[in-house]
Amino acid sequence: MWTLEQIAQHVNGEVLGDDTWQVDSVSTLKTATKHQISFLSNSKYTKYLSSTKAGAVLASKQTATSVTGNAIVVDDPYIAYAVIAALLNPEPEIKPIIASTAVISAKAEIAASANVGHHVVISDNVSIGDGANIGAGTVILQGVSIGKNARISPNVTICAHVKIGDNIIIHPGVVIGSDGFGIANNKGKWIKVPQLGSVEIGNDVEIGANTTIDCGALENTIIGNGVKLDNQIQIAHNDIIGDNTVIAGCVGIAGSTEIGQNCIIGGGVGISGHLNITDGVMITGMTMVTKSIRDPGSYSSGMPAETTKQWHRNVVRYRQLDKLSERVKKLERQNQP
């Protein structure tokens, strides 16, 4: 249990109401009970303010006055919520246990404080830092180094020589450092181009379930500090992702593309190879990026859904655009004096 006064201190907030009231968990406005704390960051949910049973609501200066019960006034209620949710839901302590069924090379260096799950395989010359938690069934190949406080889920595969910083979070099914798609056509037959680079990943990176990050062809694929990757993203060989860039699910980035810092890439975006995307670029979902982007700002492409009937008609019109343009040209000539 935490008093609202204690909660407020954690988020530089101010209590409106009873600052001795106690809460023990977070919930939504709609479902919270009296010892839970909730938040209002999206005006869509303002309608629940009058009926919420939450013991307190994290709110902005503007909205706090509409809270009928206790409120904690903060600059950014969503950030405050994230901080308080983490405070009230501490991660379980990592017990320094090596599961009996884990297979760890005698040449690997695993911190004494690490936890290694069942059926994990750790190969030669791997080093894993303090406080790591390695989920069941994960396989870490030779020469991999991983910093402190790693949270690695079950059934992850980390290939040879990948270097990972501190505070990594890797969700299940992730593959890091598998061969890039390097092939060369020798008189009609494709031969494999050896993929000799690896992957370097900075600090504070999160990688979503079943995302794949290929090793570099000669130099390394690089994921900067603070990068957040959602599920089922494909990052190809020699891509470089700048610090604090976030990428939503199902994005595919072809090889040798460099994405700047503080970019936000929406779900399902596809980015061609050998491009440069500058810092501070936002790309909306399902956009197709075929050229470098040199100016910060928001970029988009793709047609939003319409009824299939209307779509059929518009596709026909689209295909006639060339002719339509010619017809307009002709009309313009006719209209000339």
Q: Which is nearer to its own copies, 82 or 111 (CB)?
A: 82
Cα–Cα distance between 9 and 64 in angstroms, integer? 17
Contact status: 94 vs its own copies (CB under 8 A): no
CB of 164 to its own copies, least distance (A): 16
Among 165, 240, 236, 239, residue whose Cα is nearest residue 206:
165
How many Cα atoms occupy the beta-carbon half-sphere of 119 within 13 Å?
8
Q: In the numeric block, which tokens belong to residue 309?
A: 């009937």
Q: Exposure string (b/e) for 33-48, b if CB count within 10 Å is 16 or more? A: eebbbbbbbeeeeeeb
Q: Which is nearer to its own copies, 130 or 219 (CB)?
A: 219
Residue from 3, 252, 258, 279 in contact with its own copies (CB under 8 A): 252
Catalytic annotation, pick one of 161, 237, 274, 312: 237
Q: For residue 95, how many other CB atoms are within 10 A of its CB?
A: 9
Among 290, 222, 220, 297, residue whose Cα is nearest residue 262:
297
Q: Which is nearer to its own copies, 113 or 155 (CB)?
A: 155
- Which 126-145 residues touch its own copies, going by CB under 8 A? 135-137, 139, 141
Cα–Cα distance between 103 and 126 in angstroms, integer? 12
Residues 296 and 280: beta-carbon distance below 8 Å: yes
For the question of residue 237 being annotated catalytic, the response is: yes
Contact status: 97 vs its own copies (CB under 8 A): no
User: CB under 8 A: which stretch of 14-22, 46-54, 108-116, 263-271 binds its own copies?
Assistant: 263-271
Draw the binding track, 164-193, toward its own copies (x: CB under 8 A; -: no contact).
-----x-xxx-x--xx-xxxxxx-xxxxxx
Q: Exposure string (b/e) for 116-153, b if CB count within 10 Å is 16 or more? A: bbebbbbbebbebbebbbbbbbbbbbebbbbbbbbbbb
User: CB under 8 A: which stretch of 1-9, 48-56, 59-67, 261-269 binds its own copies?
Assistant: 261-269
Contact status: 286 vs its own copies (CB under 8 A): yes
Residues 179 and 197: beta-carbon distance below 8 Å: no
DSSP character at residue 229: E
Q: Which residue has the tokens 């001795």?
A: 20
- Which 188-227 residues touch its own copies, going by CB under 8 A? 188-194, 196, 206, 208-210, 212, 214, 218-219, 226
Residue from 9, 118, 124, 276 in contact with its own copies (CB under 8 A): 118
CA dihedral of residues 218, 109, 115, 83 (deg, nearest 10) = -60
CB of 288 to its own copies, least distance (A): 5
CB of 85 to its own copies, least distance (A): 4
Q: Which is nearer to its own copies, 79 or 111 (CB)?
A: 79
Contact status: 81 vs its own copies (CB under 8 A): yes
User: CB under 8 A: which stretch of 2-10, 15-23, 61-69, 312-320 binds its own copies?
Assistant: 312-320
Residues 3 and 22: beta-carbon distance below 8 Å: yes
Draw the binding track, 7-46, toward its own copies (x: CB under 8 A; -: no contact).
-------------------xxx--x---------------
Catalytic residues: 237
